[in-house]
């Protein structure tokens, strides 16, 4: 094998890690500033211009903090757990296409590390590995609160992973490929979020649960579990959990953008203009960044607005609402595409969003009825 | 309540936070640069007041020390003479100390003072590096004077200040 390809891989991996690390640092600032504005505060604006050096100050503080290891923890697992949480969040980004390709001294450099033909499967498998770190952290801490947090994390992950997988399947069905580059290119004419809005919505809800964000942040519920799985962690080990959570937020927003919002591609109505990705390669990462920033804003916005969902309702919502609904939506999507292909009539494609929205409304009505029955008519 | 009301209410909550994100003015004071005005009757650090002619209002009666629930005030009085006059009364406070670590800023000293000499001011920025510095002595508490000739002690003509307690008007505030 050509040695230059190794250099290319190493450089690209290094750059991707750097992007995610700085992204994590500035995501914390972004979240703090945005949350502050929603709560009619200003937020950190002291370190550097408008607080731009705040992440560096935080990093210095965390590095110099005392790192405490409680006496009766299972040391090996206790040390390994934060690492097990961080690594998948970095590795996850390897298959996500950041752009097309550009010419570098006569060599074609593609803007993704691996062009895996089963990229979607890779994403689902690596994304679920991260929960091992959380569960093991909770278990090895020798603390009941941490243990409960870890168990909650694993139970929640299992419940929501099913709907997540079905949402991945929707994207696969619509693009007829498991390759993420093909999925992005299939959205050249229309985003999948427009054809399948309910699927995109379910995906966004499930990703919130997947990265343990509000309103599904049961594993680290401060009020009930002090800090959940990371209550015994301090210093850099705690920072690693923090890092993993925020990097996973970024990566999962990249995945949502790729699967349902056109990935690195421009808006579908800018297809043949000079703003197209096919014209200038450097526009692709910018478009992806914009989409990720908007999706991250949604996560922060939801955290600022909605209260945490009760644990039994979290489980009921995952199993009794999201899973059947995503199954129905997948069925509608597959049927619509099959009919459009077999009967050669594009009208069936337009039936997909209509039928899915109707099924989502039916789901809302069923949930409402069920809640009313349980509370004797007082909703 | 309609079937879709719960979902609509979730959306209304989101709209409320988005509205404050874009349109609400922040309530933050950028503290060291921008300070908030205190209220007229705010109880901050004590100030020992003077009359308009520069003489001290405090007559060393120790009523503030007696009223103090935290035992933070220490007063020692001495006799005024016309050669060295500090206050219009018979006596003045030769030592006046307030331990700011003991003080609870209740304002009882202010109420007890017969001459309105001790007043809780508007300074709330108290910080010390050791416990000694927390004891504010008389020269730290005393109001500054506008000109050098109104400094105390000073020589006055005899027969002007004959009362043991100076005449007082009813307090206005």
d(CA B4, CA A363): 11
pLDDT-above-90 percentage for chain A? 4
pLDDT tens, residue by residue, A136-175? 888 888 888 888 888 888 888 888 888 888 988 988 888 8
Backbone angles phi, psi at B85, to 5 degrees: -105, 125
**Which pTM does this prediction carry?**
0.80
Residue of chain B nearest A377, judged by CA positions: B1
Per-residue pLDDT, averaged over A286-314, amounts to: 88
Q: Cα(A65)–Cα(A74) distance, rounded to whole angstroms?
A: 22
* The pLDDT of residue A379 is above 60: no
Interface check for A42 against chain B (CB to CB < 8 A): the answer is: yes
Q: What is the pLDDT of residue A365?
A: 85
Distance (Å) from the alpha carbon of B33 to chain A's nearest alpha carbon:
12
For residue A160, which of A227, A92, A212 has the smallest C-alpha distance?
A: A212
Rg (CA), chain A: 22
- The better pLDDT of the pair A262, A18 is held by A18
Contact present, A109 and A8 (Cβ < 8 Å):
yes
Residues of chain B with pLDDT under 70: 1, 171-173
Q: What does the mean pLDDT of chain A come to? A: 84
Chain B interface includes A304 (CB < 8 A) = yes
User: Would you call B20 and A37 a contact, using CB atoms and an 8 Å cutoff?
Assistant: yes
Touching B: A residues 173-212, CB under 8 Å = none
Cβ pair A306:B18 closer than 8 A: no
Q: Which helix (H) or strand (E) holds B98?
A: strand B91-99
Question: What residues have CB less than 8 Å from A218, skipping those under 6 apart?
Answer: A149, A152, A153, A156, A212, A228, A308, A309, A311, A314
For A98-102, A312-316, B76-80, which range has the lowest pLDDT when averaged over its residues?
A98-102
Contact across the interface for A38 and B21, Cβ inside 8 Å: yes
**Which tokens in the block code for residue A47?**
């370190």
* Rounded Cα–Cα distance for residues B86 and B83 (Å): 10
Q: Which fold has domain B46-150?
A: Alpha-Beta Plaits (3.30.70)
ipTM confidence score: 0.72
What is the reported pLDDT for B103?
A: 92
A57-88: pLDDT as tens digits: 888 888 888 888 888 888 888 888 888 888 88
**DSSP state at residue B169:** P
Delimit the domains of chain B by residue range: 46-150
pLDDT at site A132: 85
B21 touches chain A (CB under 8 A): yes
Report pLDDT for B98. 92
Whether the Cβ atoms of residue B47 and residue B59 lie closer than 8 Å to each other: no
pLDDT digits 0-9 by tens, B2-51: 778 888 888 898 998 888 888 888 888 888 888 888 888 899 999 998 88
Q: What are the distances in angstroms from CA A200 to CA A33, A192, A206?
A: 27, 8, 10
Confidence of residue A1 (pLDDT cuts 50, 70, 90): low
């Amino acid at each position: 094998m050509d040695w230059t390809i190794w250099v290319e891989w190493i450089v690209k991996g290094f750059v991707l890690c750097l992007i995610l690390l700085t992204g994590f640092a500035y995501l914390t600032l972004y979240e703090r500033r945005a949350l502050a504005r929603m709560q009619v505060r200003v937020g950190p604006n002291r370190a550097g211009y408008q607080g731009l050096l705040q992440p560096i100050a935080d990093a210095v503080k965390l590095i110099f903090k005392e790192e405490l290891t409680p006496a009766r923890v299972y040391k090996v697992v206790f040390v390994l757990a934060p690492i097990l949480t961080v690594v998948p969040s970095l590795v996850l980004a390897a298959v996500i296409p950041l752009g097309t390709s550009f010419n570098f001294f006569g060599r074609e450099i593609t803007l993704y590390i691996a062009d895996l033909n089963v990229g979607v499967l890779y994403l689902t498998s690596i994304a679920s590995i991260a929960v091992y770190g959380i569960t093991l952290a909770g278990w090895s801490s020798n603390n009941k609160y941490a243990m409960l947090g870890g168990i909650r994390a694993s139970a929640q992950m299992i419940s929501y992973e099913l709907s997540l997988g079905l949402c991945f399947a929707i994207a696969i069905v619509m693009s007829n490929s498991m390759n993420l580059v093909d999925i992005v290119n299939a959205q050249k004419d229309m985003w999948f979020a427009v054809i399948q809005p309910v699927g995109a919505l379910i995906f966004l809800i499930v990703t919130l649960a997947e990265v343990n964000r509000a309103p599904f942040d049961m594993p680290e519920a401060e009020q009930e579990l002090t800090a959940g799985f990371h209550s015994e962690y301090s210093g850099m080990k705690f920072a690693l959990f923090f890092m993993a959570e925020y990097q996973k937020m970024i990566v999962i927003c990249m995945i949502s953008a790729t699967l349902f919002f056109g990935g690195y591609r421009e808006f579908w109505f800018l297809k043949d203009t000079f703003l197209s990705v096919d014209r200038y390669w450097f526009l692709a990462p910018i478009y992806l960044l914009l989409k990720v920033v908007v999706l991250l804003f949604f996560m922060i916005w939801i955290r600022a607005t909605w209260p945490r969902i009760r644990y039994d309702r979290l489980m009921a919502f995952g199993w009794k609402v999201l899973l059947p609904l995503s199954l129905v939506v997948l069925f509608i999507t597959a049927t619509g595409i099959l009919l459009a292909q077999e009967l050669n009539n594009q009208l069936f494609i337009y039936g997909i969003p209509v039928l899915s929205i109707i099924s989502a409304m039916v789901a809302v009505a069923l949930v409402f009825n069920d809640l009313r029955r349980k509370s004797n008519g007082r909703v | 309540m309609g079937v879709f009301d719960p979902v609509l209410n979730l959306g209304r909550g989101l709209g409320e936070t988005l509205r404050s994100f874009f349109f609400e003015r922040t309530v933050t004071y950028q503290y060291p640069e921008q300070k908030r005005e205190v209220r007229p009757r705010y109880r901050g650090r004590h100030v020992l007041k003077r009359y308009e002619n520069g003489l001290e209002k405090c007559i060393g009666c120790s009523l503030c020390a007696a009223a103090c629930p935290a035992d933070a005030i220490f007063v020692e009085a001495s006799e005024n003479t016309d050669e060295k006059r500090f206050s219009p009364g018979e006596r003045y406070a030769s030592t006046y100390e307030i331990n700011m670590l003991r003080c609870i800023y209740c304002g009882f000293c202010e109420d007890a003072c017969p001459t309105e000499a001790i007043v809780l001011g508007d300074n709330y920025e108290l910080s010390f590096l050791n416990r000694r510095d927390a004891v504010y002595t008389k020269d730290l508490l005393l109001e500054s004077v506008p000109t050098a000739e109104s400094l105390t002690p000073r020589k006055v003509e005899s027969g002007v200040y004959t009362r043991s307690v100076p005449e007082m008007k009813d307090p206005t505030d």
